[in-house]
Structure 1
């Protein structure tokens, strides 16, 4: 059986230099990144955020996915650790609550090149080298745009009322609740939805929990997209044009329109993964990573769903 875990390379810039947060375990006399095992009922992005708070004492929202590290632990068991990057804000750092404990003796911010020699394990050193390379290319800091398909709804054939009012099934309502911590790991600030009930009720629990204003756009409905796909595209382009992370909740028939600008701006190796987003299952979503430097570019994509034990990802 594989042990699943998740962690974060927490980073900042100080006097123009990249610095990262490393944790020291006195029991093992080693240095590494904040990480830990998946708890029952948890999703890996949740695990990553929780472990940073437990081990380093501050809250983060996930940046781009860095990759997956596989190795064997002392008993010969396979371990699979999923890593994200996260820029730690001044606000998060000012609220840091860390007390040395039996597991983590200290947390220190180390200049990235020095961290290469301080890290105890080769796989962490390789991860650090990848982070340095991304920073040099100005592709380490990104913002997330999430495209979410609504949760499981009452079948069309079982609903005699207006299409716009077709509700979620009880299973769909449960999915909407389970999405809250998963989406919260990425922390989208601007939340936009089709006003049709099945979309609204999918993302409203997250918006309420995160205290985000829920913005309704009729251009995201099936009917509007069918008549004028360009209007659906306009809503997406408006979100792309902002500097904030965001989320769009829409319907399966509207997904190709919503994904089109990302496919066009992505490198060849990511286009197919983005295009496959048109097949998102109910309550499944894509996290599209946009570079914040230069013109609009997609530099990474993750596909996340409630039924996935491990998120699928593709990174450039």
Structure 2
């Protein structure tokens, strides 16, 4: 029986100084040992692993580079021997100077060499048409100076205990056993996007949802009343607008954990804060099940470009 093999990877890039001043974009290509080809870091998902997790892990294993995911570049499909198919998702991934120096790569049985090449030269070096077509998406971002990005992730809290005799006060309801498992599952997926700040509603169920993520990253959670459902019920969005505006102006990867009724207004405030056009993606990005999240990618250097892309993950239970 044929099957679809899932994989994920990255197009790693960095800015390096030019001798005469300024900088240029360099892209990382890998030379694989057995296949004797030139491509990008990628690999198959481990059992139970998500695409974002796999992209970061495979990049680290093949190149020795620790990266966070930037803009989603798309998905490619191709046929394999035996009637199987392969589906690969890719993200852009900026490599800092510190990460490049910390690389632990040595030639091995899988990858024999790493090569940094100018952005304009990489396409013709790639061995496969599917990789070249994917790289065209990356090139369009580079041509419009939209490679340097940050993300704002809107997260709905995980499954909570129902309100009742045991938990009569809504904002004190904890996560159910299912919700605790969801929170543990979420931590490595959200970590793949490199959050620098974790903001949460003051409700117990939200704080417990982001606790595993904060622990894994060694970061503190910043409780924000503006993200709570109780505050939203009062009908004044002034504080919510200020919070989203500050998150955007900082230009740093952030996770905002909130509640189902608040999410549509969070998305709308994000659209307003970035001057983006509204559209059907708004409803989809806000219609999240417990533990679901949407990642909004924004330009650090061209804030007027608005939302560059949205990835929505309805966490599977």
TM-score range, shorter chain: over 0.9
1:63 aligns with 2:65: no
Counterpart in the other structure of 1:10:
12
**3-state SS of 1:253 partner:** coil
2:163/2:169 contact within 8 Å kept: no
Matched-pair contact (CA < 8 Å) for 1:67–1:82: yes
1:47-101 C-alpha deviation (Å, 9 max, x unpaired): 0000001111111000010000011112231111000001100111111001111
* Alpha-carbon contact 2:79-2:86 (below 8 Å) kept: yes
- 1:129-160 CA-to-partner distances (Å, cap 9, x unmatched) read 22122111011221000000000001224644
Moved more, 45-54 or 130-139: 130-139
Which position in structure 1 is the counterpart of 2:292?
Answer: 284
**C-alpha distance in 2 between matches for 1:189 and 1:18:** 24
The reply to whether residue 303 of structure 1 matches residue 305 of structure 2 is no
Is it true that 1:105 corresponds to 2:112 in the alignment?
yes
Does structure 1 retain, via aligned residues, the 8 Å contact 2:289–2:315?
Answer: no
What's the secondary structure of 2:120's corresponding residue? helix
User: Who is 1:120 aligned against?
Assistant: 127
3-state SS of 1:235 partner: helix
**What is the deviation of 1:18?**
1.9
Q: How does 1:70-81 map to 2 (within 5 A)?
A: 70-81=77-88
3-state DSSP class of the match of 1:113?
Answer: coil
The aligned runs of 1:79-228 (5 Å cut-off) are 79-157=86-164, 159-227=166-234, 228=236
Describe how 1:227-306 pairs up with structure 2 within 5 A.
227=234, 228-264=236-272, 265=274, 268=277, 271-296=279-304, 297-306=306-315
Contact 1:135 1:141 in 2 (8 A): no
Cα distance in 2, alignment partners of residues 306 and 194 from structure 1 = 20
Query: Residues of 2 paired with 1:129 and 1:257: CA distance?
Result: 34
Q: Please give the per-residue CA displacement for 1:243-274, whole angstroms capped at 9, x wherever unaligned.
A: 21111000111112211123344755x73123
* Conservation of the 8 A alpha-carbon contact between 1:262 and 1:274: no
TM-score normalised by structure 1 residue count: 0.93
Counterpart Cα distance in 2 of 1:229 and 1:181:
31
Check 1:93–1:250 CA distance in 2 against 1; reply closer, same or farther (3 A cut): same
Give RMSD over aligned pairs. 1.6
Q: Does the aligned pair in 2 maintain the 1:225–1:231 contact within 8 Å?
A: no
Task: Determine the C-alpha separation between the residues in 1 that align with 2:307 and 2:73.
Answer: 15
- Bigger Cα displacement from structure 2, 224-233 vs 89-98: 224-233
How many residues of Structure 1 are paired with residues of Structure 2 in the alignment? Answer: 307
Q: Is the 8 A contact 1:232 1:254 kept in 2?
A: no
Deviation (angstroms), 1:306: 2.6
Unaligned residue ranges in structure 2 (runs of 5+): none
